[in-house]
A and B are shown apart, each in its own frame.
Chain A
Amino acid sequence: MAETVIDRAARATPPVMAKKVKGLSDRAIAWIFVAPTIFILLAINIFPLIWTIYLSFTNFRVNRPNNAIEWVGLRNYERILGDPDVWITMQATAHFLIWTIVCQVLIGFTLAYLINKKFRGNDLWTTIIVFPMMLSPAVVGNFWTFLYQPQIGLFNYIVGFVTGADPSSFSMIGEVSLAPWAIVIVDTWMWTPFVMLICLAGLRSIPDSIYEAAECDRASKWRQFWTITIPMILPFLMLAVLFRGIENFKMFDLVVQLTGGGPGNTTTLTSIDLKREAFEKWRTGYSSAYAVILFVTVFGLASIYVKALNKVKQR
């Protein structure tokens, strides 16, 4: 298969593509092929973004289309950054981000490490573990409210069975102290497989010869783990954290269905708060400024992080 006639014919030709071909010129084809994509992305992504930025400097309200759009300068931004409730929301989001990433990285890496032991049937079990990640977060979130029911829910029953506590004595999504953990548990259940897959790819990319060399030098297994496995897998772990960070910063569907932001405002993440401002209170200008702040935050943090990631990769 490797040495086909085409291969040999190809090698006989110079590596530069032939300039003159029949039909349209390459330049024309390139344009025809790229233009629709660029056009759609400009129309559906960039144009709305610019519009959001424009609206963020106004006091426009979607539900009052007859009111004149008034330019208010930076007032929306001042109000958001000076609002203690917004900062509480940010804290809730940070709490959610940190704990989901910690749990997912620890469990995901452990699973990948175990699967990499190449026991029989590991591919089958890997596929099973991956299922939750592919499902609809909204549908899954809704069903977890059933699992979390104090009297009848499976989660409470199992926790009660294992710890001996009364299953009806606590409500994961109804209590202020438990609700943040309820969303961390479901998010971890859903997205640990993602971190696991990335770690697995990382572990499989480490050449065996490094371990063999370490073995010759009589390095202990523990030593090998810390001086070979961890540094080699670090870029992969960091990439997993980046992806999970961006996704969870945008987190909306799962949490809306699971807790709706409650009880109180304990699980109101920034996306949920933004949705309330934009589509319940209809403060379009204000929520546009909110959206811009969020986007700049994600973009800024991600850029700094990617720089750090590239440094680790180069080592």
Chain B
Amino acid sequence: MSFSVTEPSTRQKWVAGILVVGYALITMLPLLWIVATGFKSSTDSIAYPPKILFEPTVEGYVNVFTTQTRLSNDMAEEPREDLPWYEQLVREKGNTIVGASRYSERFFNSVIIGFGSTFFAIVLGTAAAYAFSRFKVPLKDDLLFFILSTRMMPPIAVAIPIFLMFRNLGLNDTHAGMILLYTAINLSLAVWLINGFIDEIPIEYEEAALIDGYTRFQAFYKVVLPQAATGIASTAIFCLIFAWNEYALAVLLTSGTAQTAPPFIPTIIGVGGQDWPAVAAGATIFLVPVMVFTILLRKHLLRGITFGAVRK
């Protein structure tokens, strides 16, 4: 290795490494605590001092998923053999009934609305981004700025008229309505990011294709799309993560049928307050996909979260 004045010394590297690792461990603590709480029994979860070592149980996961969340006291008293294993487990803990869990339904709503809105945002966004990148669109810069500015509005500010509009159109608390809404919000991100990715593809590729007798459409999907594929894929994951995590509009515009998981998880209530193992179990299941995506995305992370304003 050649000598360089900018190369940090070994000692500097050690100090930096220890400090960063220390911060990372502290920052991980709440997340690890969520995962651990999901595997605790309800008594262990509220023990004092907080329990680091505990006997793991899937009680929380059972409680968050089963339709019959818990059995009532009188049902628990009479011995029964016909119950499935998860209800046996709940019964052994002597819990009482608090109503049906709708977690799986809400989770499924998150999947439908998340993937649906991502799909439309990506399809429409890619088309628009291509047009902005390759054609003379009148007022191009103004349109792009207008698209970006839609992100400055607090979601609550547009929630009132959207609430009124959706009510008139019969879209309140429907999957279609939420997909439409999140598509609109994700479109701005999709157009900006994909526009950046397409701008980086040399225009000469398409020209060569056009000379070979391709139509414009063919040149678009046979030459440009494959080149932009990784960029489009990472944009899609960003759109999905946004729709997945969105809370304000979901809580204001949905009440039942189309409600996603983020407004639902905090409402998981047990006997006497929140059932923390169940909340933690629900949260863990909900957070894991995003953590996996984060690992996949780390190269595009900065571009995605800043609308491409900073390129790494």
Contact = CB atoms under 8 A, between A and B. Distances in A.
A198 B302 contact: yes
Given A52-B157, A243-B306, A142 B266 contact: yes
B28 interface: yes
Interface string B34-73: 1001000000011111100000000000000000000000
Contacts of B155: 250, 252
A146 interface: yes
B277 to A, nearest CB: 11
B222 interface: no
Interface stretch (A79-87, A94-102, A133-141, A169-177): A133-141
A38 B188 CA distance: 10
For A55, A204, A253, the residue with the greatest tally of chain B CB atoms inside 10 Å of its CB is: A253
Contacts of B301: 130, 197
Interface in B283-312: 283, 286-287, 290-291, 293-295, 298, 301-302, 305-306, 309-312
A43 interface: yes
Nearest to B181: A44
Contacts of B279: 142-143, 146
A87 B95 CA distance: 48
A34 B129 CA distance: 8
Contacts of A200: 312
A179 interface: no
Interface stretch (B80-88, B96-104, B145-153): B145-153
**4 smallest beta-carbon distances between A and B, as pairs:** A10-B204, A44-B184, A291-B157, A23-B215
20 contacts: A18-B211, A27-B135, A34-B132, A37-B187, A45-B184, A62-B160, A107-B23, A119-B13, A120-B13, A120-B17, A125-B21, A128-B27, A129-B23, A135-B290, A139-B286, A201-B312, A211-B6, A239-B310, A250-B153, A274-B154
Interface of B: 4-6, 8, 12-17, 19-21, 23-24, 27-31, 33-34, 37, 45-50, 124-125, 127-128, 130-132, 134-137, 143, 146-147, 149-165, 180-181, 183-185, 187-188, 191, 202-208, 210-211, 213-217, 241, 244-245, 247-248, 251-252, 261-263, 265-266, 274, 276, 279-280, 283, 286-287, 290-291, 293-295, 298, 301-302, 305-306, 309-312
Interface of A: 6-7, 9-11, 13, 17-18, 21-24, 26-27, 29-30, 32-34, 36-38, 40-41, 43-49, 51-52, 55, 62, 107, 111, 114-115, 117-123, 125-140, 142-144, 146-147, 151-154, 157, 189, 193-194, 197-198, 200-202, 204, 208, 211-212, 215, 236, 239, 243, 246, 249-250, 252-253, 256-257, 270-271, 274-275, 278-279, 284, 287-288, 291-292, 294-295, 298-299, 302
